[in-house]
Structure 1
Amino acid sequence: MPIKFLILIILVNIFPVRNLNSQISNPALIGYWQNWNDFNCPYISLTQTDTSYGIIPVAFAIPASGTSYNMTFIPEGISQLNFKKQIDTMRMRGKTILISIGGANHPVSMPDTIKRNTFITSMMNIINTYGFDGIDIDLEGSSLSLSGGTISNPVDAKIINLIYAVRKIMDLYRIQYSKKMILTLAPETAYVQGGMSAYGGVWGAYLPVIHALRDSIDVLHVQLYNSGSMYGIDGNIYFQGTVDFIVSQTEAVIQGFNTAGGYFSGLRPDQVAVGLPACVNAAGGGYVIPDSVKAAILYLKGQIPKPARYTKTGTYADLRGMMDWSINWDATSSCGSVYQFAESFNEIFRSVQTLDLKLFIEALYISSEDTTRADTVKVKLRNSNSPYTVVDSAIGKFNTNGEVTLYFKKALNNNPYYLQIDQRNSIETWTKTGGILFSNNSAFYDLSLNSSQAFGNNINQLDDSPVRFGIYSGDPNKDGAADVTDASLVDNDAANFTAGYVLTDLNGDFVVDMSDAVYTDNNSSDFIIKITP
């Protein structure tokens, strides 16, 4: 093995893979990944997360026993090394992986500078060990509390030290990695919008933190659940689990509001996401059915008329996205349909991407007419980086010119994808290295142009004038190879005079005969197999 290659392997295993691009998903689906097994929402591997999720806070870094500030994180059910590999894999897929701090059951507080400094050191150790892209602050319970002061001038040590600690961690991160650390916040409503009704104790306790860090916050996603009722900026009270609650509480953190601790200036719309339970069992209250979520967010974005009682004062086309508790709950089939929340996000925030594809299948192509018999094709979009995860799929029927239009909900603009093309009895074929790009929600790909359009040049020239290339036929059993097993299937059906739309009718004339067998015979003799990255 060359020395340079060996050194590269060693470095990759020692140091976490980091995406030096500080850009994060926009719009963003943010989902908490639970680092534990629960009977009702079982543990899933981080790498099994639906591809719709772009920002993934890992729950949770918690204080060491006997402290409220010395932070620890231990992956459950997996080794530290393998968990780091999973984070690296997710990062190569373009995901942002954060470590979330605290949670409902583990208060975090720094009442003095010694404890604050321990918090900073311990959090940097966690970030460096696993290669997290940043932190998510999910402090609840007794973590933060107000005894006086104002939003712009807090007096409580826990709040002052938290602000200092986050700034210091961000500074250290930038020095070490030459990029901005990603910062998200997930307060409960009492700590934010609750400041409209009172300013003391937990009520409004996050507001000084948000105010001080507003230029560094990437996304604020207040938990619009387990909340009860809250004031809107119109002075009326709204209840969780409704369209009005989503609209009123989201607009409040964008428009800003008055409190007894001074005026809270809102954040930009692109800094704000709507935080909800993934399904009805994921929280004690506040679940909203998908149609109501859609109505609330589309109204906030200015795309539909007012759907309920609350009247918004502005339009927020740049609203950042949605957050859920949790990915694990979204993935379970016992609480709504699998990944229903992710599908809801895609329907609300992502434009349908259109792919115009031109292709020919070897046995279906009619050379004398430069046409093809029509048939159905299934196309999977795969990430361009290993392990080439399936992002989305679509099925369509190509016409006699070999043209088909396919629609994808989960594809992003300017993000490279491989196309995995499958027809019912041909060799699975992938597109060329580097993949395709959607631009302005559309893409065009002509697989028939030349052999380099397919990965590994794994297509056959069908015609010289005009020059046409097509996907190899002869794999009715779809095992990825044209071989004697396929030839036997075709030969047997030909001997039995089988007719109709069957897998062994390779040329699409609805009769299985020797004109089909020629493709399995020739391609098995040439050892034609699928070629993938």
Structure 2
Amino acid sequence: MSVTGKRYWRVAAVAAIALAASTGIALTSHADDTSTKDSSTAELPKHTLTGYWHNFDNGSTVKRLSDVPAEYNIVAAAFAEADASKPGAVTFGVSPEVSDALGGYSDDDFKADVKALQDKGQHVILSVGGEKGNVVVDDATKAANFASSVKSLMDEYGFNGVDIDLEHGINAQHMGAALKDLSSQAGDGLTITMAPQTIDMQSTSTEYFKLALDIKDILTVVNMQYYNSGSMNGCDGQVYAQGTVEFLTSLACIQLENGLSPSQVGLGLPATSQAAGGGHVDPAVVNAALDCLAKGENCGSHKPPKTYPDIRGAMTWSINWDATSDYAFAKTVGGHLSEMP
């Protein structure tokens, strides 16, 4: 996710083709695997919209958490920061710039707002990472520190869970151990989301994909970032340009046909053209992609091998950017998701 809301266009077609050639994209379907637990998402609707709330001021809007519209089922507070005193651990608090912009918005105000959203049925989770954040979990000690620090912040602020948005690389083994440890501490109902970049989910050999498969029994949803990407390989081996319905459906197909449940796959898009360096689409295009994946309708030139009625939904970067367009993304995509069977 871009803290500044502006990122350079990153053309990755060549890298993607090389990755696919070296590792292969197996299309053996595991989409009907019933081993995934539902307990971690029991309180969420079948189809969900995830959005990120800024704990910083980047020129979009500054909003109290309680201002988040009801269309957002999962609200990710962005971002937790690395704890310099304890490797692998993270910290969180309302930033001074947000507090000042709101005329004094305290941690206690934020905690009250977390409860207010939860009373309306929304989940509020803590996002770790972002474009500039770098939390390293690459050994057992750091994994334990990560789990204990996130659990402590969940207890303090009332968070429902955690979002993994680490864009500087992850270690699937140790982050997986950390999230399993967190799950054992938090119990059923823990919400775990991930927001990998497109290149991170091109093959099951990548660390992000390995992590998603390793924790699939406790994983809520992978909201891959279908933006700031350039062209990428789809599940049929063809290269698709970002900003199209075919890009969304063909890349989602890779996850859907390689081990994740449809209920664990979401489409992540920028709320506005200012929110990312590339990949923004009209919200109606997101709805078309959801229809294609769920019902085989409005697909464009690429049609996935089958339909996935349980497709989880969508994500946007971000709620604050969406506010600049009168919440067009939430109203259009969130409204559509609420009407999907």
TM range (shorter): 0.7 to 0.9
The answer (yes or no) to whether the contact 1:61–1:71 under 8 Å persists in 2 is: yes
Match of 1:38 in 2: 58
Letter in 2 for 1:24: L
* Aligned-partner SS, 2:306: coil
The answer (yes or no) to whether the contact 1:223–1:276 under 8 Å persists in 2 is: yes
Larger % of strand: which? 1
Match of 1:272 in 2: 265
Cα deviation, residue 68, structure 1: 5.4
Q: 1:66 to 1:237 in 2, by over 3 A?
A: farther
Matched, 1:338 2:340: no
Take 1:207 and 1:239, find their aligned partners in 2: how far apart are those partners? 22
Match of 1:412 in 2: none
Deviations 1:2-35 (A, max 9, x none): xxxxxxxxxxxxxxxxxx9941132111101111
The answer (yes or no) to whether the contact 1:227–1:286 under 8 Å persists in 2 is: yes
Match of 2:291 in 1: 298
The answer (yes or no) to whether the contact 2:288–2:298 under 8 Å persists in 1 is: no
Aligned pairs for 1:282-361 within 5 A: 282-302=275-295, 304-306=297-299, 308-332=300-324, 337-351=325-339
The answer (yes or no) to whether the contact 1:298–1:348 under 8 Å persists in 2 is: no
Match of 2:18 in 1: none
Q: 1:67 to 1:58 in 2, by over 3 A?
A: same
Cα deviation, residue 303, structure 1: 5.4
Match of 2:184 in 1: 171
Letter in 2 for 1:53: Y
More contact order relative to length (CA 8 Å, sep ≥ 6): 2
Matched, 1:184 2:197: no
Take 1:270 and 1:330, find their aligned partners in 2: how far apart are those partners? 24
The answer (yes or no) to whether the contact 1:31–1:327 under 8 Å persists in 2 is: yes
* Aligned-partner SS, 1:301: helix
Take 1:21 and 1:168, find their aligned partners in 2: how far apart are those partners? 18
* Aligned-partner SS, 2:224: coil
Letter in 2 for 1:44: K
1:233 pairs, out of 219, 232, 235, with 235
Letter in 2 for 1:321: G
Letter in 2 for 1:163: G
Take 1:28 and 1:289, find their aligned partners in 2: how far apart are those partners? 19
Match of 1:119 in 2: 146
Letter in 2 for 1:310: H
Aligned pairs for 1:26-65 within 5 A: 26-39=46-59, 41-65=60-84
Aligned pairs for 1:321-470 within 5 A: 321-332=313-324, 337-351=325-339
The answer (yes or no) to whether the contact 2:41–2:190 under 8 Å persists in 1 is: no
* Aligned-partner SS, 1:328: helix
Take 2:41 and 2:249, find their aligned partners in 1: how far apart are those partners? 33
Take 1:21 and 1:275, find their aligned partners in 2: how far apart are those partners? 19
Match of 2:131 in 1: 104
Take 1:68 and 1:107, find their aligned partners in 2: how far apart are those partners? 11
Cα deviation, residue 291, structure 1: 2.8
Take 2:293 and 2:274, find their aligned partners in 1: how far apart are those partners? 26
Cα deviation, residue 205, structure 1: 1.9
Q: 1:236 to 1:50 in 2, by over 3 A?
A: same
The answer (yes or no) to whether the contact 1:28–1:320 under 8 Å persists in 2 is: yes
Q: 1:66 to 1:280 in 2, by over 3 A?
A: farther
Unaligned 5+ segments in structure 1 are 1-19, 145-157, 257-264, 353-439, 441-533
The answer (yes or no) to whether the contact 1:321–1:349 under 8 Å persists in 2 is: yes
Moved >4 Å (runs of 4+) = none
Letter in 2 for 1:191: D
Aligned pairs for 1:492-531 within 5 A: none
Take 1:330 and 1:64, find their aligned partners in 2: how far apart are those partners? 30
TM-score, with structure 1 as normaliser: 0.53
Match of 1:129 in 2: 156
Deviations 1:412-451 (A, max 9, x none): xxxxxxxxxxxxxxxxxxxxxxxxxxxx9xxxxxxxxxxx
Cα deviation, residue 67, structure 1: 6.5
Cα deviation, residue 290, structure 1: 2.4
Deviations 1:278-333 (A, max 9, x none): 11111111101123222222122215253x2212111122211110000000001x
Letter in 2 for 1:343: K
The answer (yes or no) to whether the contact 2:283–2:333 under 8 Å persists in 1 is: no
Tell me which structure has the larger Cα radius of gyration: 1
Letter in 2 for 1:350: S
TM-score, with structure 2 as normaliser: 0.81
Take 1:305 and 1:22, find their aligned partners in 2: how far apart are those partners? 30
* Aligned-partner SS, 1:221: strand
Letter in 2 for 1:222: M
Farther-moved stretch of structure 1 (115-124 vs 160-169): 115-124
Take 1:311 and 1:93, find their aligned partners in 2: how far apart are those partners? 37
Match of 1:83 in 2: 110
The answer (yes or no) to whether the contact 2:241–2:247 under 8 Å persists in 1 is: yes
Unaligned 5+ segments in structure 2 are 1-39, 100-104
Q: 1:104 to 1:66 in 2, by over 3 A?
A: farther
Letter in 2 for 1:106: G
* Aligned-partner SS, 1:209: helix
Match of 1:520 in 2: none
Take 1:29 and 1:82, find their aligned partners in 2: how far apart are those partners? 24
Deviations 1:433-482 (A, max 9, x none): xxxxxxx9xxxxxxxxxxxxxxxxxxxxxxxxxxxxxxxxxxxxxxxxxx
Cα deviation, residue 115, structure 1: 2.3
* Aligned-partner SS, 1:274: strand
The answer (yes or no) to whether the contact 2:294–2:310 under 8 Å persists in 1 is: yes
Q: 1:269 to 1:21 in 2, by over 3 A?
A: closer
Q: 1:292 to 1:114 in 2, by over 3 A?
A: closer
